[in-house]
Amino acid sequence: MTDFLPDIPVLSSGEPDTTAGVRFHVETYGCQMNVYDSQAIAGFLLDRGYRRVGDPDVADVILLNTCSVRDHAEQKVLSRIGEIRRVRDVRGLPQPVIGVCGCMAERMGEDLTRGPRGVDLVVGVDRYRDLPDLLAALVDGSETPVSRTATGHRDDSRLVAPPELYPVNNSHLVTIHTGCDYKCTYCIVPATRGPQREKDPELIAREIEHIVRIGGREVTLLGQNVTAYRWGDLDFAGLLASIHGIDGLERIRFLTGHPCDMHPHLMDGIGRLDKVCPWLHLPIQSGSDRVLKRMKRHYTRRQYLDLVAYARRVIPEVTFSSDFIVGFPGETEADFNATVEVVEAVQFDQIFTFKYSERPGVPAAKLADDVPAAVKKQRLAAIMAAQEKIWKRIADGCVGQRWRAVVEKPARRPQGSWMLRTGNNRKVIAASPGLAVGDVATVEITGHQYTTFFGSVAE
Ligand code: SAH
Ligand code: SF4
Ligand code: F3S
């Protein structure tokens, strides 16, 4: 562990240099960690005088911040690259320069620069600091453009994304560590993100204080395993308690927790700290112990159910969401039924379900991907149907309740209404001319459609 402590970046107006006026556009795929990283990438480039544009058609540089978690995620990016190259060929120009950042850059490296879909620049997740230099060499014309690749993990890569680039009243993302030391057998993330490296708690505190100074009131602490955070004697419960003390900060959320780190003292802390929102996203992946063991998840179905019961005792109004993989190698009908039983037992607010996708080089790639595609499809539909039925019952039971919720943004429909979010992460659409983004209101629930509730403002 280094004592590396970068300054909070303050965006300068940008000294005019050779890159001045070069327009870049960033497209983000994958998880919230990439959303945060894209902000950091934009910060580095803006600071060097590049101009950010929202429209890829007018960009001189298009950066794709990519995800490798499933094959489908990679295919989407590969076809996007093909699309940009076709536009470029029609124009007959070398612009836009195409760069790939993120997990695909790390996994595929130089291969991405080859062939008819070859890109100009490949920059891995720990190399964004070098991006302005790498790009300058491609766009300033001082050198014959050759494609460039920078990948590999570094210990000093903890990034701070300028919070000014994020809508002030939404939940500000704050990455608290990078990488992952778990080795779930299906997962590519430990390979793409590298080992777990913590951000110094002092830096996290300064980052959040800065967010509050510019008007932010809520943060979402991010990491592949935030619950495994450890800095000397400080664990995640301790980190939450210290962040809780920051004046002006009103709400703290976090993503993602790992069930095997959800110790009672952490749940006690979450229950006690009133700024910490009572919502736990705790991916279980499967309800079958046999499958969990082969996934190397380090908990049993019983342990998961026990921790849900404990959390319900000590965290008032807690809600749960989870991820599920169906069709893991060797998953039988009985294994799958055990998973549906867990969905029924826990009563999640929301579940995210995925068909198993074999990733190259991960430990599970040695197992035969033997659940036929049609069966994966049918299990995915079955688990979603089970959840839909359960959720309808839960949501019907909420009608007539009164909830405290924060105004997040204008709702798309009906016109003039707001989207509010409760501490336990339920979305409510309500109309009220008197409200503004960031206000806290009491809403009475009048109905729902899927996971969105409708309500009227009671005070
Ligand atoms: N760190 C988090 C999430 C990692 S990726 C955790 O530990 O839970 C987000 C989700 O993608 C996972 O929870 C899992 O459900 C899914 N996923 C990961 N690898 C996958 C694969 N090879 N095939 C299908 N889904 C996968
Ligand atoms: Fe992947 Fe497991 Fe790490 Fe989550 S905990 S990122 S699923 S290896
Ligand atoms: Fe995807 Fe990488 Fe996130 S693989 S889920 S973008 S950590």
Q: What percent of the chain has pLDDT over 90?
A: 80
- What is the tens place of the pLDDT at every residue in 21-75? 899 999 999 999 999 999 999 999 999 999 999 999 999 999 999 999 999 999 9
Closest atom of ligand 1 to CA, residue 186: 22
406-446 pLDDT tens trace: 999 899 888 889 999 999 999 999 988 788 888 899 999 99
Whose atoms come closest to the Cα of 257: which ligand? 1
Q: Mean pLDDT throughout 371-377?
A: 98
pLDDT tens digits, one per residue of 254-293 = 999 999 999 999 999 999 999 999 999 999 999 999 999 9
Q: Atom of ligand 3 at shortest distance to CA of 193?
A: 7
Higher per-residue confidence, 156 vs 379 = 379
Ligand 3 contacts CB of residue 70 (under 6 A): no
C-beta 285 within 6 A of ligand 1: yes
Q: Give tens-digit pLDDT for 145-196.
A: 566 899 999 876 678 898 888 776 678 999 999 999 999 999 999 999 999 9
Cβ of 112 closer than 6 Å to ligand 3, yes or no, is: no
Mutate to test the pocket of ligand 1, among 184, 354, 358, 359 (most ligand atoms within 8 A of CB): 354
Question: Ligand 1 atom 4: the closest Cα is on which residue?
Answer: 224
Contact 33 CB / ligand 3 (< 6 Å): yes
Residue 402 CB neighbours (<10 A): 12
Show the domains of the chain with their CATH numbers.
23-150 (3.40.50.12160), 163-397 (3.80.30.20), 402-457 (2.40.50.140)
